[in-house]
A and B are shown apart, each in its own frame.
Chain A
Amino acid sequence: NAGVTQTPKFRVLKTGQSMTLLCAQDMNHEYMYWYRQDPGMGLRLIHYSVGEGTTAKGEVPDGYNVSRLKKQNFLLGLESAAPSQTSVYFCASRPSGQLIEQYFGPGTRLTVT
Chain B
Amino acid sequence: QKEVEQDPGPLSVPEGAIVSLNCTYSNSAFQYFMWYRQYSRKGPELLMYTYSSGNKEDGRFTAQVDKSSKYISLFIRDSQPSDSATYLCAMSAWLPDTGRRALTFGSGTRLQVQP
Number of A interface residues in the complex (CB < 8 A)? 21
Contact between chains at B44 and A40 (CB < 8 Å): no
Of B59-67, B73-81, B102-110, which stretch is located at the interface? B102-110
A21 interfacial by beta-carbon distance below 8 Å: no
Total inter-chain residue pairs, C-beta < 8 Å: 49
Number of B interface residues in the complex (CB < 8 A)? 25
8 Å CB contact of A99 from B4, B32, B45, B107 = B32
List residues of B whose CB falls within 8 A of some A CB.
4, 6, 8, 32, 34, 41-46, 49, 88, 90, 92, 98, 100-108
List residues of A whose CB falls within 8 A of some B CB.
4, 39-45, 48, 50, 56, 90, 92, 99-102, 104-107
Q: What are 10 residue pairs bridging A and B, where the CB atoms are less than 8 Å apart in the complex?
A: A40-B8, A41-B107, A42-B105, A99-B32, A100-B32, A100-B34, A102-B103, A104-B43, A104-B45, A106-B41
